[in-house]
Amino acid sequence: MKVARPNAPLPGEQDIVADRQDSDNGIRHLFGHVDIELFNGTFKADTAEFDEDTRIFTAHGHVYYRNYEQNEVIYCDSLIYNSDTRHGIFYHARGYAKTKVVARPGILVTQEPFYFEGTVVEKTDEKYVLYEGTITDCHVPKPWWIVRSRVIDIIPEDRAVTRNATFYLHGVPVFYFPWFYKGLKKEPRQSGFLTPEFGHSSLFGTFFGAGYYWAINRSYDMQYLFTDYTSRGYAHHVDLRGKPTDKSDFNLILFGVQDRGVAENGTYVNKAPGVSITGTAKALFGDGWYGRGNLDYLSSFLFRQTFSGSFNEAVYSSTNSTAYLKKDFGYYSFTTDVSRNQNFESVTSGDSVIIRKLPEFEFDGRDRQIASGALPAWFSFDTSFGLYHRVEPRTEPAYYETSQFTPRGDIEPTISTAFHWEGFSILPSFTMHETFYGQSLIGNAVTSSALNRAAPQVSIDFVMPTIERVFNKKTFLGDKLKHVIEPRLTYNYVTGVNAFLNTLRFDSTDLLADTNEAQIGLTNRIYAKKGDTVTEVFTWEFYQKLFFDPTFGGAVVAGQRNIVLSEIDMTGFAFLDGPRSYSPLVSVMRVSPRPGINISWQADYDPMSRQMVNSTFASDFRYKNYFISAGNNLVRPDAVIAPSANTIQATFGYGNPNRKGWNSAFTTIYDYRQGIQQFAIAQVTYNTDCCGLSFEIRRFDFGTRDDTQYRVAFSIANIGTFGNLKKQERIF
């Protein structure tokens, strides 16, 4: 971090000021308030000598040196410095260097300089060597931690190396390092062993971990972690990253456990060995072509539930892998992709639905105006062709499996127009769904009989004038308020899907069913204006569909779970357990009256059962360092659709990752229906100006897992964290 000096001397020159100066055979003797200015630094001392032939300064008494190129300051008793070679020796020195701190999530940071001391400090043009020295980034003179060593070798903004070093915490020796390397670059990359970790779990026992980081070359690196779960087995974690070109990169992570199960009466039970592989990749190929990839493979859902470190990951029952190559040109785009989706129904082997696309080609055209004037018109289309494969759960009586490469082709041209009159707008559109299937379904059997679907669709969107009113009254929300009411009516008609029950399901394209429906909606919005800033502080939408064809052309069967496209477009919860003439009434409310306060609530009220069948509530409150989040998910449909659920989530705490002093937080997920606390975390952190200690307890209690874990981490500001509490596992 170079400091600008507009009046600095030129290289090879110096400006010298002192109370008294003498010269003897080319040696200048300086006495009293000596001030020597070089092009890259400043020296101050009580007395000094300067040899004009060798270009060597010798200074004594209250010596001060500042390097403006690296923004460093050193105080010492005496020094010898060559202004040409920039080599210097400082005796009984202490100093600091101010570095640019880049804050990263999960890393404790401090704005304190990097302090160092040494009996002797030797400086060259590029590095410092401290003899009998100490380093710290804590506030002096009473730092929380220091590293002491006989020799410390530092290249600013590159690396620091020491041997036989001791780490002191509040004057107490804590760690001994036979050899220690710390990268000081913005993105340091150096091969080496990682700090060992250890911890305890009621399910896995005491565990120990160690690893190695391999900087393969400038474009690739790999990290390997080995963990010994003393009560279960061995875990392996491999993280491979690469950047083959300046326009491509990838990251591949493998996690596997050689699980021997739980010891019980001399035998091992509940074994859950497995592996998960995740990865991402992207590349630009030129001429507008680009690609993306996402790999998500899981060998066993039981393995995920047993060994996942987070609750959300442990209960997530799907894996989704996809890779695509795409090009956009003008109004059109072309995409080719492959994908594999697996949805685990339970932890039982084979109880999952697997859908593959190998491959799929898509050619789409976005809306393009083909006519103007009193009757404008726009044309668009979606087309696709692919080879698909689907496997139903092998544990179900309805098990079936398609051929490895079942063809499906689909073309959907759309033409739309718009009418506007006196604030009213009518937006009709016509779509023709033409789909070919190479196989079809009869009962639970897949047949080689082809299936053709020709389904015209008419949609009309009626947009009515909004109703507005402005309230020129100052409130806590703002200087004035504006209430807006937006009524909406949409009509949708689809016919020609005559074999819905014989259609194989690969994606949402196959959920199109005959329908004759209308959706009525009303949206209330309240805007607040404060000064020149306008914000939406309240929104309330509610809408409902009327079905004039209760069976959706025979697609809906009484007494079973039915999924059709009209249902998915309506709400995120299934509700069709048989023919019906109307949907639940959906209400979506969002409130944000002030910064730091956000509330949302979506609820589905079913007039047929006369109850609230689904409800999702979430709230978030933040004030200074206080934060509270709470939510509730309630699902109680008909038993044939899905089991009931009622979970409560809450998080509250005080502090943040970089706040000095005590910080604490707690989060929990409670299953109200079963009366079980499925997951909980309690975290306590104490931060000083330069380091922090965190302790966390994690509790799992769901399905196949009953586990309590203890995690701890010691953080050194601007350097890193030691322990088994990873940054992605923290509450804050």
* Segment 11-60, tens digit of pLDDT: 888 899 999 999 988 899 999 999 999 988 899 999 999 998 999 999 99
Give the helix/strand (H/E) hosting 303: helix 301-307
pLDDT at position 112, please?
76
Listed as ranges, residues in the chain with pLDDT below 50 are none
Q: Closest Cα to residue 719, out of 116, 190, 137?
A: 137
Distance CA 621, CA 628 (A): 5
Q: DSSP letter at 478?
A: B
Q: Closest Cα to residue 527, out of 536, 514, 517?
A: 536
Q: Closest Cα to residue 607, out of 545, 522, 548?
A: 545
pTM of the model: 0.82
186: β partners: none
pLDDT at position 104, please?
54
- φ/ψ region of 698 (left if φ > 0, alpha if ψ in -120 to 50, else beta) reads beta
Q: Which two tokens stand for residue 493?
A: 């008609």
CA atoms within 13 A on the CB side of 423: 7
Task: Name the one residue in this structure whose structure tokens are 């074994």.
Answer: 271
**Domains detected in the chain:** 15-186 (2.60.450.10)
Q: Are strands 262-264 and 248-259 parallel, antiparallel or unpaired?
A: unpaired
pLDDT at position 546, please?
97
pLDDT at position 99, please?
64
- The burial of 2, by beta-carbon neighbours within 10 Å (0-12 exposed, 13-18 middle, 19 or more buried), is given as exposed
Q: Alpha carbon of 620 to those of 369, 480, 611: distances in Å?
A: 44, 25, 27
pLDDT at position 681, please?
95
In SS3 terms, 672-730 reads as CCCCEEEEEEEEEEEECCCEEEEEEEEEEEECCEEEEEEEEEEEECCCEEEECCCHHHC
- The burial of 59, by beta-carbon neighbours within 10 Å (0-12 exposed, 13-18 middle, 19 or more buried), is given as buried
pLDDT at position 155, please?
81
pLDDT at position 106, please?
55
Handedness of CA 76, 79, 83, 86 (dihedral sign): negative
